[in-house]
Structure formats: structure tokens, C-alpha cells
Amino acid sequence: MTSPPVLQVREWSTTTPDTPGGGALLRDVRLSSADRELIAELEGRATLRFTELRSGLSISVGPDIGTVNLSSVRLVIMPKLRLDNLMRMVAYAFDLADLLVTETRTTYEVAKHGLIDLLGVSLLRAGERIVRGGLLPTYQSRNEELATPRGRLDLRHIATHPRRATLRCTYDDLTVDHELNQVLAAGLRLAASVMESRDLRLDLARAADRFFGDLERRPLSADWLEATISGLDRRSSHYRTALTLIALIHHGARLGQHVEAGAMPLSSFTLNMNMVFERFLGRYLSEHSPDDVRIGMQDVRSDVFSYLENAGGWNQPTIRPDFVFYRRNQVVAIADAKYKNRHENPPLSAELYQLTTYGLAYSIPEPREVLLLHPLARGEFERATTLLFAPSAAAQQVRIRLVGVPVDDLLDGTVRRWWPLDAGNSTTARPGSSRTSARLDRADGTR
């Protein structure tokens, strides 16, 4: 069976059958029943909209990147960021200090296959590094009947079974066949089943069989994976990169139950850039804040709204701004991160309602400032935008300021200086400017 044609689109875009370029691939396309099942599964998990028109199919994409395989077309959603910078962003956001970004630029057909293969290549390299250093062994307690004594004898069992030629023994066995390595093996096999590149699928499957073929096989579940990651300690910390990549692949992959027999094994893989952008900013702001500023993240407050009557017994409403800036324990600003192209998408009313609530909920010196942080790609410059909430009937005001984050320049280290509370950020280094200590740690550990 031949593979469907590939349509490349950008995040935050809409493509119709009349869109110049690749839009012609959507002409006369109709969704199959398997496509509708997949789209129903994606609803609420990815910001993709598929609309059937008389002339074909219209596709709208939000802040998700990745791959969606339909019966008639394979959709590859590319980020605005350069792919190497995207991987640096993922590495920095998820603290994957040893992720080898440079290798992912030239291995396999990444531009054709999308982000899933970038993560797969990185997982393969991370797994190989673990194996080269030696799989972590651990002692496991075993209770078995042996021909020769080992460990502690079960005297009660021996006394009650005097005619047996074996002895029941309890002993500790040093083995690599334990949950940590089993999760790594299961993750490699999962990745092998969902990669777009056939060569990469084979490489991952071979690595799993070659390095972990003798280990007990267990299906990978989100709970098992999460518990394994949270249980990492000093001895097993070098597994973190591989397990985090497995978690990203497991979370984003939609496996092939929606694909007919003989078709490609991947239904879709999507990565929500809102999540990545928020985690990236959380780490950056914490590491680059002035000495007298502290950053609070995901500050959940349930004391803002109070029911005067609640016959339904509903839970107390909460607010949760992404970032709260404290100076000497005094809140000086609130910020929310939205991964959206603000050159083309002005703030929505719902976003303004949310930000205004944040501004009124905290005791902030006037003017009460709330920041709406959004990404700037290479070559984009900030367009100064400030809104003032100042109704005549209210004594309090809120100032909402849009602040662009020069993501590419931060990742490349070409930023001169950037801090969101600075008025009039000079975000992008001009030609001839020097690189400063504000640059981020590179994904390969260099500065």
C-alpha cells in the first residue's frame, strides 16, 4: 500500500483546498470513519480543527506541532522555530542536559517525518549511552527451591518436606532485569512502533532486542512510567533523559488502532507547544531573575471566589497564574504564558478577562501590571501593546502588557539582555553585538 501524500503546514495556520502551494492536496478529500474516530480522540487534546467543505478539507492548527495521519493525506505540522532550536527548547524545558541536538539535524528525513523522529533519534542515542556505561543492576530478593543451598534456608519448609531433593532458599540476586530497565526497554519498543521513518523504527526495535531481549516484557503505562521517573535517585539519574523522552513520546502518540491493516503504524503524534513554552519560561525566569526577585509558578489560589450560596455543593473556584513575581515577599507583577503569534492574533476577550482577574486578585503596587508573554521567532520584533482596564465605576485599574520572548535568540545565545519586567526590552542582538552571559545552557552541556 502506498503512503498518502505529505502536507506540511505551520503551527497557528489554516489550510484550505484553495491555499496556494500544498492546499491542492486537500481538494476533494473526504474523511473516512477511521479518520473521524481519530479526530474525536484528538478533541480536547490537540488544537486541530478539520472541516469538510464542498471543495475538500480545511485544516486549522493551533499551538500543536507533530504529525497526523489521515487516510488521504499525512499532515506534518512544523514549528516557527528552527528544528534544532526547538530541540534545544525541549531539552532546556525538560532539563535534558545531555540531549544531542546536533545529531538530529542530519539523521533521517526530519523535515518530512516531523518532530516524532527527532525525539526518536534522541531516545535511541540516549539509550545507547546508557548501555555503553553499563545497565544499572540492583539486588532483588528471590525465594526458590535449589539443588544446593544459597542464602537463607527455609528450615520450616525443609522440615515439613523431608523427602525433597531441593532446598527452599531466600537470597538476593544482582540483576539488570528490574523495573527501571524494563521501562527503558518498553519505551524503546513503543518508539519503534510509532516512528515515521522505517529505518528509525528498525533501529529502535533492534536496540530493544539487542540490549534488553532477556528482560521481562511488560506493556508501558503512564502510571508505571511516571512512578519510575519520580523514583530516580543519584545512582539512576543518568536514565532521566531517556525516560523523559519516552514520556513525551508516550503522551503525544496516538497508536494505530485507527489505522487500517497494512497502513502506517502511527495515527498521530502531537506536542503542545503551550506546555513546552511555559516550562521553558519557568526555568529561564527562575535562573535569570535578579537577586531580589523570586518567581512563583502555578500559584493556585482558592480564596478569590467565595460561594454565598452553593446548593449544588460545587468545588471552590480557583485561579492559577503561570508566574508571580515577588520582590521582598511583595507581589510586583503577574504573568501568563501563551504560545501564540501575536503579530497575527490579538488578545482574545477571554484572555483579557483572565488576566484582569489575576491583576485584581493580588495586592500589587499601582499600576497593577499583568504580563502576557508570547514567543518571538528569529527576525520578529516586538510590537508594543498595552491595554488598560479602567472602568469608570471601579476604583482599581489593571494594566495588561504584551511582552515578546525572543525564543530563538535566547536559545542561540545571541540575546543582549532580556527580562520581562524591563520597559522597552532590547531583545535582539544587532549585527556585531557581543554574546553575553544571558545565553542559556546548550543542550550538549556547553555554554
* 89 in Cβ contact with 81 (< 8 Å): yes
* 325 in Cβ contact with 299 (< 8 Å): no
Q: How many residues does the chain have?
A: 447
Sign of CA dihedral 36, 37, 41, 46: negative
* 27 in Cβ contact with 56 (< 8 Å): yes
Distance CA 375, CA 404 (A): 5
Q: What is the 3-state secondary structure (H, E, C) of 226-270?
A: HHHHHCCCCCCHHHHHHHHHHHHHHHHEECHHHCCCCCCCCCEEE
How far is C-alpha 441 from the chain's CA centre? 19
Q: Where are the domains of the chain?
A: 6-80+110-134+179-272, 138-175, 289-412
Distance CA 54, CA 208 (A): 47
| Phi and psi at residue 52, to the nearest 5° | -85, 125
* 114 in Cβ contact with 67 (< 8 Å): yes
Per-residue pLDDT 10s for the chain (447 aa) are 567 888 988 888 899 999 998 889 999 999 998 888 888 888 877 788 999 999 999 999 988 888 888 888 988 888 888 777 888 888 888 888 666 554 444 444 554 556 778 888 889 988 998 998 888 888 877 788 888 888 788 878 877 888 788 888 887 778 888 888 999 999 999 888 888 788 888 999 999 999 888 888 888 888 898 999 999 998 898 898 899 999 988 888 765 444 443 344 455 788 889 999 999 999 999 999 898 899 999 888 888 898 999 999 999 999 999 999 999 889 999 999 999 888 888 889 999 999 999 999 998 888 889 999 999 888 888 888 899 998 877 778 899 999 999 998 888 888 777 899 875 544 433 333 333 334 465 444 444
Sign of CA dihedral 12, 113, 189, 106: negative
Distance CA 9, CA 79 (A): 9
Sign of CA dihedral 101, 102, 106, 111: positive
pLDDT at 18: 92
pLDDT at 257: 47
Alpha helix positions (H), 94-173: 110-113, 115-133, 155-160
Distance CA 103, CA 118 (A): 9
Residue of 359, 351, 373, 372 whose CA lies nearest to 281 = 373
| Phi and psi at residue 10, to the nearest 5° | -105, 155
For 347-351, the CB contacts below 8 A with 24+ separation are: 347/372, 347/385, 347/387, 347/400, 347/402
Query: Which residue reads 483579557 in cell numbers?
Result: 352
Torsion region of 223: left, alpha or beta (phi above 0 gives left; psi -120 to 50 gives alpha): alpha
Q: Decide: pTM greater than 0.85.
A: no
Query: Which residue reads 546548550 in cell numbers?
Result: 442
User: What are the b/e assignments for 291-309, b being 16+ CB within 10 Å?
Assistant: eebebebebeeeeeeeeee
Amino acid identity, residue 256? G
Measured CA angle at 270 (ends 261, 20), to 5 deg: 90
Distance CA 434, CA 447 (A): 14
Q: How many CA atoms lie within 13 A of 303 on its CB side?
A: 3
Q: What is the DSSP letter of 173?
A: E
pLDDT at 113: 55
Residue of 442, 413, 417, 439 whose CA lies nearest to 427 = 417
Q: How many CB atoms lie within 10 A of CB 57?
A: 25
Residue of 400, 378, 385, 390 whose CA lies nearest to 345 = 385
Specify the DSSP element, H or E, that contains 225. Answer: helix 222-230
Measured CA angle at 388 (ends 384, 389), to 5 deg: 150
Q: Is 368 helix (H, G, I), strand (E, B) or coil?
A: strand
pLDDT at 279: 92
pLDDT at 106: 44
